[in-house]
């Protein structure tokens, strides 16, 4: 049989061909054009070979497959842009054909006349799971690493290689819709319970079980190709469906505010497809997929949440020519909530960590935080008892700075006070090896100022974590004026080791994320003062695509923290840096009413004991004369909340704080959930066009204040027809897409 670059084929004495997908020089199998061509050749070859009775398809790597390849996705969007400019109608036809390539290849496997069994040995995502669904049998390993999902909706598209047609013909429609509109991952046992997998076996039995299915007479025909097939639950025209389908779009709108065209397309594909013959259903899916690929949302979300996130995670901003650091020992100074959490994620990455505080009691209390997290993970089955014990064994509490004498990296996470931090920097540097890096986890104090206390400012950097550290995927790496390349490389290596996504920003008050967050909160203050009903502020934010309203977010970060930051701004930058009305509002909430936020169970919301849910504090509407709800335009509220954040992101680019638009976009989504369907703050501007954004800002500025005035950079970009991704091209050459 022919040799293939990405596949290995071994046919046994029973005539079962084991096709092992194992791409050279890749840690994970992904679909490329070459892989698809080889796979089609394998189908043709196995059909033509009379000695082959059936095929078992598996992966030679720890994971099965992550789905489509970055370069293939980027290439598709580049093609859309270039072809549309030359021949708009022809471009859509070309796109339609490209969109169906995978779908019809999977259909070819399904109808090839010989049984195929997918043996799933690890993470199986997207197109790879759709390929498995087109096989006649599916066996999954019960290893904890096995996860199956159709997560495409999370990046603005949907399962367009038969997923919307096969899943609801195997599982009931409600489970199918839930799985695809949320992109949720399934364990092997859940997939079997839903009817998506036939068998779940021990890892070492996987191939034997798959071969046994063929040997036992597996028919090479999909259920829907058998005459008289009915979908689980009876399809669309049943009493159960009459309850599901009228509610489904309403539930989707409640969850997504209509901001995700791909999620609605899933509903349409399933509803229409279940009323049609299977091949016609696939064509319907292909048409919707072609339509969704042309939306701004799909382009922006794929660019930021798929392409850029992977590029940043793989070290797009790491300086070249510096050896990768393998961390043997990390120190964390400050065993409070943040320091204890940083120690936990460090140990979870398998790195020994010393947790320092002023005395052993405080340091040991910090380790207790990790013990609680481990107990929770073990209780939920996310970690074995042995894994938990190993993690905890890597955390050593101490009150002795001498324990840091062989640390590769030390992170300080002490109280936000310059004097306290100065003392820590000096104490650590007295014992730290000359080649090691010192990082500060400050959230408010500029790194350049803190580095003045250091004897080696080129090895001083900021690594800003977000709370809760174990859940938040973003870290801001902050460069002081004298931070060197070695410090940056080590910081990025550490962030990669703890499996988080970094953005690199230059030094400024509030860095990038907090500057944007406080614009969001400040706009809500303006709205409250204008008399906009508080519930409308929170709902407008959710309709705009934000995960939480600005008042709820302020409660989470603490209203007294906002108060401290305002006072620090006035002390450092003068009284004009804070609006007096904002100061009066926050002062009243904190000093007069004692409403500090969630931490003392009363802020803009009231927090009753569980299981009761939080609710807006009724007294909030008595602070200012209230407007009638019908006089407030929800569209304008949504524009204000998104535009004020996007403007701040544009200012950070103009000031040279953020230098790569990918980082502004990814940082805004991972850092505070900026409306993911936009692709992030700068993609929001690029998506509507800089000219349209400038016009919107000028309209808002005329009514709501000068803080909406577009910046000189934005005006210049609007005049020249630029976008952020062309003006500040992260790839070094202007590209039309991605």
pLDDT category at 589 given cuts 50, 70, 90 is very high
Checking if the pLDDT of 166 tops 50, the result is yes
Q: Rounded to the nearest 10 degrees, how much is the dihedral formed by the CA atoms of 46, 50, 51, 52? A: 30
- pLDDT tens-place string over residues 679-697: 999 999 999 999 999 999 9
Closest to 439 measured CA to CA, from 452, 425, 427: 425
Sign of CA dihedral 258, 262, 267, 272: positive
In DSSP terms, which residues pair with 344 in a beta bridge?
none
Active-site residues, by number, are 464
Q: Mean of the pLDDT values across residues 505-516?
A: 87
pLDDT of residue 70: 66
pLDDT of 310 strictly over 90: no
Going by C-alpha positions, the residue among 530, 401, 511 that lies closest to residue 466 is: 511
Residue 572's pLDDT is what? 81
> Could you give the CA distance from residue 205 to residue 550 in angstroms, rounded to a whole number?
52
CA separation (Å) from 421 to 16, 116, 336, 344, 450? 66, 63, 14, 22, 8
Alpha helices in 31-87 (DSSP H): 33-48, 70-86
Give kind and range of the element (H or E) at residue 464. Answer: strand 460-465
Q: How many CA atoms lie within 13 Å of 70's alpha carbon, on the beta-carbon side?
A: 13
What is the distance between the alpha carbons of residues 32 and 165, in angstroms, rounded to a whole number? 23
CB contact burial 209-223 (16+ within 10 A = b; e otherwise): bbbbbbeeebebebb
Among 457, 441, 393, 401, residue whose Cα is nearest residue 424:
401
Contacts of the segment 456-460: beta carbons below 8 A, 24+ positions apart: 456/429, 457/482, 457/483, 458/482, 458/483, 458/484, 458/486, 458/487, 459/484, 459/486, 459/487, 460/487
Q: Calculate mean pLDDT across residues 697-709.
A: 96
Residues 6+ apart with CB under 8 A from 466: 472, 474, 475, 513, 671
For the cut 60, the answer to whether the pLDDT of residue 733 exceeds it is: no
Torsion 691-696-701-706 (CA) sign:
negative
Please state, in angstroms and as integers, the Cα–Cα distance from residue 74 to each residue in 262, 541, 738, following that order: 18, 31, 6
In this predicted structure, the answer to whether residue 631 has a pLDDT above a threshold of 80 is yes
Distance (Å, whole) CA 333 – CA 355:
6
pLDDT reading at 80 higher than 80: no
Measure the CA–CA gap between 7 and 38, rounded to whole angstroms: 8
Residue 465 CA to residue 440 CA, distance in Å, equals: 10
Cβ-count burial of 137 within 10 angstroms (0-12 exposed, 13-18 middle, 19+ buried)?
buried
Q: What is the mean pLDDT of residues 309-333?
A: 91
* Residue 114 pLDDT > 70: yes
Structural fold of domain 330-510: Rossmann fold (3.40.50)
- Region 23-27: mean pLDDT is 89
pLDDT digits (tens, 9 = 90+) for 465-506: 988 898 999 999 999 999 999 999 999 999 999 999 999 999
How far apart are the C-alpha atoms of 121 and 135, rounded to whole Å?
Answer: 15
Containing H/E element for 398?
strand 395-398
Distance CA 90, CA 86 (A): 9
User: Within a 10 A sphere around the Cβ of 651, how many other Cβ atoms?
Assistant: 18
Say whether pLDDT at 608 is over 70: yes
pLDDT score, position 253: 92
The pLDDT score that the predictor gives to residue 1 is 53
Terminal-to-terminal C-alpha distance of the chain: 39
| Closest C-alpha to 302, from 679, 672, 662, 671 | 679
Q: What confidence score (pLDDT) does residue 738 get? A: 36
According to DSSP, residue 18 is labeled E
38 vs 384, residue with greater confidence: 38
Three-state DSSP at 139 gives strand
Which residue do the tokens 């066009």 mark?
Answer: 689
DSSP secondary structure letters along 199-260: EEE-GGGHHHHHHHHHHTT--SS-GGGSTT---GGG-SSSHHHHHHHHHHHHHHHHHHTT--
Top-level class of domain 7-294: alpha beta
* pLDDT band for position 423 (cuts 50, 70, 90): confident
In angstroms, rounded to a whole number, what is the distance separating the alpha carbons of residues 18 and 54?
A: 9
Average pLDDT, integer, range 149-177: 94
Angle at CA 504, nearest 5°, toward 501 and 509?
A: 120
pLDDT of residue 737: 36
Return the pLDDT at 314: 87
Q: pLDDT by residue (tens digit) across 235-276?
A: 898 888 889 999 999 999 998 999 999 999 999 999 999 999
195: alpha, beta or left? (left if phi > 0; alpha if psi -120 to 50)? left
- Quick one: pLDDT at residue 734? 39
Say which residues have a Cβ less than 8 Å from residue 637's Cβ, sequence separation at least 6. Answer: 527, 532, 536, 537, 540, 544
pLDDT attached to residue 449: 85
Residue 448 token pair:
């350049």
pLDDT at 300 exceeding the cut of 70: yes
What pLDDT shows up at residue 94?
A: 83
Q: Which residue matches tokens 């052993």?
A: 360
CA–CA distance, 393 with 342 (Å, rounded to integer) = 15
Q: Which residue has the tokens 């169906």?
A: 100
Query: Residue 536 has what pLDDT?
Result: 96
Q: Could you tell me the residue ranges of all domains in the chain?
A: 7-294, 330-510
Are β-strands 16-21 and 7-11 bridged in parallel, bridged antiparallel, or unpaired?
antiparallel
Which pLDDT value is given to residue 86?
82
| 495 neighbors 465 (Cβ within 8 angstroms) | no
Instruction: Tell me: pLDDT of 635 over 60.
Output: yes
32 near 71, Cβ under 8 Å? yes
Q: CA 283, CA 101: separation in Å to the nearest integer? A: 12
The percentage of residues in the chain with a pLDDT greater than 70, rounded to a whole number, is 99
| 711 DSSP 8-state letter | P
- For the residues 307-334, what does the mean pLDDT come to? 91
Where does the pLDDT of residue 569 fall: very low under 50, low under 70, confident under 90, or very high at 90 and above?
confident
Question: What is the band of 81 on the pLDDT scale with cuts at 50, 70, 90?
Answer: confident
Is residue 371 within 8 A of residue 392, CB to CB? The reply is: yes
């Amino acid at each position: 049989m022919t040799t293939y670059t990405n596949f290995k084929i071994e046919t046994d004495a029973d005539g079962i061909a084991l096709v092992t997908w194992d791409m050279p020089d890749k840690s994970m199998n992904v679909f490329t054009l070459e892989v698809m061509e080889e796979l089609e050749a394998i189908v043709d070859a196995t059909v033509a070979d009379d000695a082959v009775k059936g095929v078992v398809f598996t992966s030679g790597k720890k994971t099965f497959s992550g789905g489509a390849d970055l370069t293939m996705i980027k290439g598709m969007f580049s093609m859309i842009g270039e072809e549309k400019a030359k021949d708009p109608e022809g471009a859509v036809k070309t796109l339609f054909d490209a969109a169906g390539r995978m779908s019809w290849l999977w259909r070819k496997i399904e109808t090839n006349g010989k049984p195929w069994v997918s043996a799933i040995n690890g993470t199986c995502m997207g197109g790879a799971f759709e390929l498995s669904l087109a096989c006649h049998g599916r066996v999954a390993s019960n290893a904890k690493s096995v996860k199956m999902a159709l997560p495409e909706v999370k990046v603005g598209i949907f399962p367009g290689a038969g997923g919307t047609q096969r899943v609801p013909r195997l599982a009931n429609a409600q489970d199918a819709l839930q799985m695809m509109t949320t992109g949720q991952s399934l364990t092997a046992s859940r997939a079997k319970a839903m009817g998506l997998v036939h068998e779940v076996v021990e890892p070492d039995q996987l191939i034997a079980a798959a071969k046994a299915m063929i040997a036992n007479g597996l028919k090479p025909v999909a259920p829907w190709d058998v005459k008289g097939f009915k979908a689980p639950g009876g399809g669309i025209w049943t009493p159960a469906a009459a309850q599901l389908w009228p509610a489904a779009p309403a539930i989707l709108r409640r969850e997504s505010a209509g901001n995700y065209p791909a999620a609605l397309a899933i509903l349409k594909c399933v509803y229409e497809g279940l009323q049609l013959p299977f091949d016609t259903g696939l064509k319907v899916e292909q048409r919707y997929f072609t339509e969704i690929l042309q939306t701004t949302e799909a382009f922006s979300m794929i660019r930021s949440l798929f392409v850029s996130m992977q590029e940043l995670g793989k070290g797009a901003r790491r300086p070249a020519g510096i050896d990768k650091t393998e961390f043997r020992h990390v120190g964390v100074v400050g065993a409070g909530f943040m320091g204890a959490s940083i120690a936990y994620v460090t140990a979870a990455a398998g790195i020994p960590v010393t947790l320092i505080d002023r005395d052993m009691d405080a340091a040991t209390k910090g380790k207790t935080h990790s013990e609680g997290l481990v107990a929770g993970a073990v209780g939920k089955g996310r970690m074995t008892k042995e894994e938990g014990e190993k993690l905890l064994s890597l955390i050593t509490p101490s009150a002795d700075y001498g324990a840091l004498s062989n640390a590769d990296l030390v992170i300080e996470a002490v109280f936000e006070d310059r004097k306290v931090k100065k003392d820590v920097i000096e104490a650590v540097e007295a014992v730290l090896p000359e080649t090691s890096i010192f990082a500060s986890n400050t959230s408010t104090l500029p790194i350049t100022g803190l580095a003045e206390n250091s004897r080696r400012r080129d090895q001083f950097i900021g690594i800003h974590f977000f709370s809760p550290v174990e859940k938040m995927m973003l870290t801001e790496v902050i460069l002081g004026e004298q931070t060197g390349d070695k410090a940056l490389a080590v910081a990025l290596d550490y962030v990669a080791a703890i499996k988080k996504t970094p953005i690199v920003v230059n030094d400024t008050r509030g860095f990038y994320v907090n500057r944007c967050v406080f614009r969001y909160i400040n706009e809500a203050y303006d709205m409250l003062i204008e008399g906009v009903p508080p519930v409308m502020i929170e709902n407008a934010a959710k309709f705009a695509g934000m995960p939480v309203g600005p008042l709820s977010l302020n409660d989470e970060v603490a209203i007294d923290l906002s108060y401290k930051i305002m006072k620090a701004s006035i002390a450092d930058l003068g009284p004009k840096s804070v609006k007096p009305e904002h100061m009066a509002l926050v002062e009243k909430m904190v000093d007069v009413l004692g409403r500090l936020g969630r931490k003392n169970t009363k802020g803009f919301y009231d927090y009753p004991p569980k299981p009761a849910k939080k609710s807006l504090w009724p007294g909030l509407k008595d602070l200012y004369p209230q407007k009638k709800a019908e006089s407030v335009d929800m569209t304008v509220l949504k524009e204000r909340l998104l535009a004020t954040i996007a403007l701040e992101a544009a200012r950070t680019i103009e000031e040279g704080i953020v230098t790569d638009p990918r980082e502004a976009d990814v940082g805004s989504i991972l850092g505070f959930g900026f409306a993911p369907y936009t692709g992030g703050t700068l993609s929001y501007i690029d998506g509507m066009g800089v000219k349209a954004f400038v016009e919107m800002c000028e309209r808002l500025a005329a009514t709501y204040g000068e803080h909406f005035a577009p910046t000189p950079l934005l005006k210049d970009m609007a005049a020249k027809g630029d976008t952020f991704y062309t003006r500040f091209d992260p790839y070094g050459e202007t590209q039309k897409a991605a």
